[in-house]
Amino acid sequence: MSVRVTMLAASGWAALAGAAAAQATPQAQSSGAQPRAPTPKVSADGAPDPIRSSDADGSDFSFEFSAEALTDYVFRGQDQTNRRPAGLIDASLDYKSAYFGVSASNIDYAPLGDRKTDAEVDAFGGYKDEAFGFTYDVGLIYYGYISQPGGEDYFEGYIRGSRAIGPFKAGLSFYFSPAYSRANGGGVYGEGNLSYDLTRSWTVSGAVGRGSSDYDYLNWNIGVSYALTRRVLLDLRYSDTDAHDRGRAYGDRVVASIKLRLP
């Protein structure tokens, strides 16, 4: 079982060479950015995640660490790094079906009016298991911000389900908060995703999502992934939204990424 919350480092593609996820990133009310959550088998951005740690030793505990470099960081259709490269690292500790961890990321919300917030620190935990052929996952995330005006931290819960249907993998996810940092009140976000294995190494996938709060808009993406090895994944993805009038953070873009996972 493998669940992670992504952490962005500040170094972009170079971060992968210098260091070792998401599907996403939360932000304050004043900025209008979106929350990010632990990444399921098909992530919040629609990319498949076939690289998994092994439980061959039979231990109830497992630890996972990954690092990713991206040409841009996009979550739920919204740019999180002002069209600049991003480096991402994450870690989690699992005990049987339960998991927990912490994450941190660099962010740049200048196009959204926030020029002070420069980092995010999160804590998360949840439970993931299988029943009747479905994989289900429930959890809670705490989002904290460094140098955030007003200190608008918040919590977000999530419920996810997925199932393999022949060569396809389909999933539905729901995220909810009683008070998003950037919203006047609570809100929910729903997403459907689908992936198809072209070969053992090539996968095509996509996702469509929409929120219900003061930041309602539709977003979607489609992309192709290639498993270079069982620990290295390449991905190329196009994303867009129906909210171009909100600024360039909501515009369309193509993002390339490479991910390394250990152990």
Asked if residue 167 has a cis previous peptide bond (ω within 30° of 0), the answer is no
| CA atoms of 48 and 32, how far apart (whole Å) | 27
Calculate the average pLDDT of the chain.
78
What's the pLDDT at 114? 75
Q: What is the pLDDT of residues 67-91, one digit of tens each?
A: 899 999 888 898 888 888 888 888 9
Enumerate the domain spans of the chain.
6-262
Per-residue CA distances from 64 to 20, 192, 259, 262 (Å): 12, 26, 13, 6
| CA atoms of 84 and 109, how far apart (whole Å) | 11
Contact 42, 48 (CB under 8 A): yes
| CA atoms of 239 and 29, how far apart (whole Å) | 23
Q: What is the pLDDT of residues 98-139, one digit of tens each?
A: 999 988 777 887 766 777 777 778 889 999 999 999 999 999
Dihedral angle, C-alpha 63, 67, 73, 76, nearest 10 °: -20
3-state secondary structure of 236: strand
Residue type, 152: E
- CB atoms near residue 148 (< 10 Å): 23
Q: What is the pLDDT of residues 151-207, one digit of tens each?
A: 678 899 999 999 999 889 999 999 998 887 655 578 899 999 999 999 999 999 999
Q: Which CATH architecture has domain 6-262?
A: Beta Barrel (2.40)
What's the pLDDT at 47? 52
Q: Output the six-digit token pair for 12.
A: 């972009």
